[in-house]
Each structure stands twice: as structure tokens, then as C-alpha cells.
Amino acid sequence: MIESPPTGLAAEINPAIRGMMRAARDMLQHEHSLLGSLGFKPLLLGAGKTSFSLDLPARFGDGSGMIHGGFLTVVLDSLFGLTVFTAMEEFKPIATINLRTDYIKEAAAGSRVICDSVCEGVRNEVAYVSGRLTLDADKSLIAIASGAFMVGTKGPAKGSRL
């Protein structure tokens, strides 16, 4: 479900971006194989602000019953990228420049977490995002992160090989 953004923000989202976000929500919930298997649920999609909840299955564990930090980083990177899209006036491809994640506590396999993120701003075609992962059950902090994303990147040329 997409919750209504706080007063004043609804008008800030370009209708084309709003439509793209609805399509992204549906794709992430029903077609993206990884997120679809995590019980992925959007809680808030607003202008430069998102919140999602998801499960942490044991298959992403580190062997000790805890979730591997690398998996949490992939989740943060993916959801931060989606947050960048909510801050843009028009769709442009993006790419991660960097992502810093500080792990505060481990998360047990089988937990449900919430990822909240905010696009702090865009300058010179670089978007800056910050956010956090918390346990859904008790709201305890698992990780904080910040990242930068290049806006307007070009994909590989058609037919090219990496």
C-alpha cells in the first residue's frame, strides 16, 4: 500500500514519476524474484522518502543463525536506489557510486525488518541518500547507511559485451 505523503508532498511528485513508482511497487512485490521471496511490502512512497518491510530468510544467513551483512547491503542499495527515483522530476537511469553501511547489531534469520530512507538532495547529477534498517518487532537499530548515486548514467551500448 502506498500511504499518502505528508501534507504538501503529494504535489511535489511528478505524475509520471508517481505512475512509475506504482509500476515499480507492483514489479517489486510480484515480479522481482529476490524481493518477491522476501515478503517485500512498501509502507511509504513519497517525494524523496520511502519505507519498506521485508523478511530475512535463513538462506541469507552467515551460518550462525544471523543474516549476512552483505545481504543487508544489497537490500539497502536496492531500496536506496528506489528512493532516488522518488526524488527525480523525470526518469533517468542511476548507478551506485558508493554505499557506506555501519552495522549496529546482528539480525536473526527469520526476522522482519523495516528499511527507511531519504534522498537528502541531488547536486551535479549525484543523489545523496541516507537510511536505516530496524527490526520490525521491537524497532531496534540494525544498521545505518548513506550512499551516493550518479543520475543520468548510460547503459551498455546495444550488443556490447562487458
pLDDT digits (tens, 9 = 90+) for 62-75: 999 999 999 999 99
Average of per-residue pLDDT values in the chain: 83
pLDDT digits (tens, 9 = 90+) for 118-157: 999 999 999 999 999 999 999 999 999 999 999 998 765 5
Domain 10-151 falls under CATH 3.10.129.10: yes
- Tell me which of 6-20, 69-83, 99-113, 120-134 is least confident: 6-20
The pTM assigned to this predicted structure is: 0.78
Query: Strands 141-151, 41-46: parallel, antiparallel or unpaired by DSSP?
Result: unpaired
Are 80 and 43 in contact by the 8 Å Cβ rule? The answer is no
Q: Which three cell numbers stand for residue 80?
A: 536506496
* Contacting residues for 36 by C-beta, under 8 A, at least 6 apart: 28, 29, 30
